[in-house]
Amino acid sequence: MQPYRDPSLPVGDRVEDLLGQMTLEEKAGLMFHPPILVGDDGGLVEGPGPFGPHGTSELVRDLHLTHFNIYAAPGPRLHAEWSNRLQELAASTRLGIPVTISSDPRHTVEAVGASAAAAGLSAWPEPIGLAATMDEELVRTFAEIARQEYRAVGIHVALHPMADLATEPRWARIVHSFGEDAGLATRLVIAYLRGFQGEEPGPGSVICMVKHFPGAGPQRDGEDAHFAYGKDQVYPGGMFEHHLAPFEAALAAGAVQVMPYYGRPLGLPLEEVGFGFNRDVVTGILRERLGFDGVVCSDWGLVSDLHLPGGSVWPAKAWGVEELSAEERLAKIIEAGCDQLGGESLPGLLVELVRSGRIPESRIDESARRLLRDKFRLGLFESPYVDPEQAVRVCGSPQFRAAGERAQRRSAVLLTNDGILPLAGQPKLYLEGFEDESETSVGDADVAVVRVSSPFEPRNGNFIEALFHAGDLDFKEPELSRLLELARTIPTILVVHLERPTVMPELVEACAAVLAVFGASDEAVLDLLHGRAAPEGRLPFELPSSMEAVRAQKEDVPFDSAAPLFPFGFGLSY
């Protein structure tokens, strides 16, 4: 047995043995983390696709890639079978380095932005809904369940949690955060880490890639840095250190992987380039000041444009370095201190930079050690395969589904109630926005129940932009008048999927009750309305009283909305 295959040896020794046998090309392959397609039938997907010209076999055998992230996937059995086929392919390579698979959140009832709806897994509230419970034990329980479901189908790294603070209410990523309060967010991030990783990463763990360092919440005007119009992060209140605090706590609690965001910081003594390119941030703050020696993986697509179906192009998020060539961007990311490039497949370009003398091979070795260390910690060299039968038993088990359903109900926040809730007797309900809407007309109903989502301003760019709900937070005409007229006609209960801090003073005044949910099934909502469950949640952010108040806020300052409609922590019960 080669030493790197011997589990009785210390991880450091195994890493050095394997590293000493790797070619430059194989080491470079470790440093790229692109998306990969999962076959609907559980098979490997070959040939050109939406993420590039390379099929799975070419990525693994020829480009020497061993880290991938997945998006859509079939049910647990087929997903597990695909994982095993991919690991069999990796085992056939010269050194047999197993593949590490990562994923964005995939346990939500409704997919919003960079997440996937549960497909055969237990279904839970969005992270902002977990924050509404303000319950560290519940968050840890979620993470422990998600860990088991991830490992059952062969997922090893969670591209979450977000430790960002939701101080700018228009930001599209709030739904995946733990809200506005630094103390609450810090406690829940630590609970999340404990549930996914344990006290330290091991063979049963899922490693968390905590993001988006050093805090992506203060986006100028709330626009998102996935897009050029949202590339700037600003600190008019001087609160940079406030946003950094949850990350410091996460590192102290054992975080071993970190992702910097796309945004570029303005008005600070830092280079005004995107965080993934930013040596002041990655090396100066994260590595040197905070002492972090784990994996730093850039956010996706800093170097290459993405050519989308239909012919549109999503430009590389090279904010502040747009004029640099691909080679120069790649070198700047490595020199900033990143170990891995998310969303890219450019090992040949990295090899050229080393061969030309631009980047020393010793720098590649430094990152390779960190990346190999996590593969060994996860036990992938001993147990790369999963059991499809076990995946079926574990994923979405009755116990896990029940826990998620309880959390959906517990996270709901009752904002107003004139006494109509819980519903008494058997009133005739006019249901709108439910999957199965009743046939009862408004004229024949006793009560109207309307499900809506937080408003946003649709963008006219590529389909990626449609996934990010940004812009104004208030209901516009004619929808506002339609809802107000309904509330004047019949007692109306408004159920709002609160993706962002919605502005709705007129509706709060007009409706008999307003219930906020953060990812809840129709069944969960009806249970809450009929009193079969009680809302326990508390607002994880302020609800502003007007768009004028929103625009007057400082992007980096928490709790600075003038005369909020509802304060942080508000919630009624019955």
Distances (CA, A) of 101 to 299, 389, 395: 16, 20, 17
Active site residue 299: yes
Note the Cα 373 to chain centre separation in Å.
24
Tokens of 153: 């189908």
Measure the CA–CA gap between 363 and 368, rounded to whole angstroms: 9
316: burial class by Cβ within 10 Å (0-12, 13-18, 19+)? Answer: buried
Measure the CA–CA gap between 513 and 496, rounded to whole angstroms: 11
Alpha helices in 92-233 (DSSP H): 127-133, 136-153, 182-197
Distances (CA, A) of 534 to 135, 415, 569, 573: 16, 13, 17, 7
Bridge partners, 431 (sequence order): 449
520 Cβ contact list (under 8 Å, min separation 6): 109, 125, 129, 408, 409, 411, 412, 497, 528
* Residue 100 · residue 380 · CB < 8 Å: yes
Query: Which is the catalytic residue, given 135, 299, 374, 556?
Result: 299
Measure the CA–CA gap between 386 and 374, rounded to whole angstroms: 18
Q: Quick check: bond before 214 cis, omega within 30?
A: yes
Distances (CA, A) of 328 to 25, 304, 353, 358, 564: 19, 12, 9, 10, 47
Closest CA to 209 of 308, 298, 323: 298
Measure the CA–CA gap between 400 and 197, rounded to whole angstroms: 18
* 496 sits in which H/E element: strand 492-497
Catalytic residues: 299
